[in-house]
Amino acid sequence: MFLRTISLTALLLLLLSIHTAAQTVDLFAEVNKTISTDITTGTFKATRIVNGQSIENVGSGVLDFKILHRFGALNQGGYNFFGLDQATMRLGLDYGINNRLMVGIGRSTFEKQYDAFLKYKIIRQQKGAKNIPFSLSYASTIIYKSLRDATTTYTPYVSDKFSYAHQLLLASKINDYLSIQLTPTLIHYNMVDTKTIPNDFYSLGFGFRQRVSKRVNITTEYFYRLNKLDGYYDPLSVGVDIETGGHVFQLHVSNSTGMTERTFINETTGSWGKGDLRFGFNISRVFTLRKPKELRNIKW
Which of the 8 DSSP states describes residue 132? B
Quick: pLDDT tens for 183-210.
999 999 999 888 889 999 999 999 999 9
Single out the residue of 123, 99, 115, 118 nearest to residue 167, CA to CA: 118
Single out the residue of 132, 105, 157, 177 nearest to residue 37, CA to CA: 132
Give SS3 for 273.
coil
Q: pTM above the 0.95 mark?
A: no
Match domain 42-295 to its CATH number in 3.40.1390.10, 3.30.360.10, 1.10.287.110, 2.40.160.40.
2.40.160.40
| 249-275 average pLDDT score | 93
Q: What are the sequence ranges of the domains in the chain?
A: 1-35, 42-295
Q: What is the spatial distance between Cα 285 and Cα 94, in angstroms, rounded to a whole number?
A: 10
Answer whether residue 28 shows pLDDT above 70: no
Residue 183 amino acid letter? T
Name the band, by pLDDT with cuts 50, 70 and 90, for residue 269. very high
Residue 209 amino acid letter? R
| 120-148 average pLDDT score | 94
pLDDT, residue 195, reads: 86
Single out the residue of 138, 165, 152 nearest to residue 267, CA to CA: 165
Quick: pLDDT tens for 40-98.
999 999 999 999 999 999 999 999 999 999 998 887 777 777 778 788 999 999 999 99
Single out the residue of 157, 184, 156 nearest to residue 170, CA to CA: 184
Q: Measure the CA dihedral 78/87/268/158, to 10°.
A: -150
Single out the residue of 294, 262, 91 nearest to residue 186, CA to CA: 262
pLDDT, residue 96, reads: 96
Which of the 8 DSSP states describes residue 260? S
Single out the residue of 58, 38, 42, 50 nearest to residue 119, CA to CA: 58
pLDDT, residue 10, reads: 45
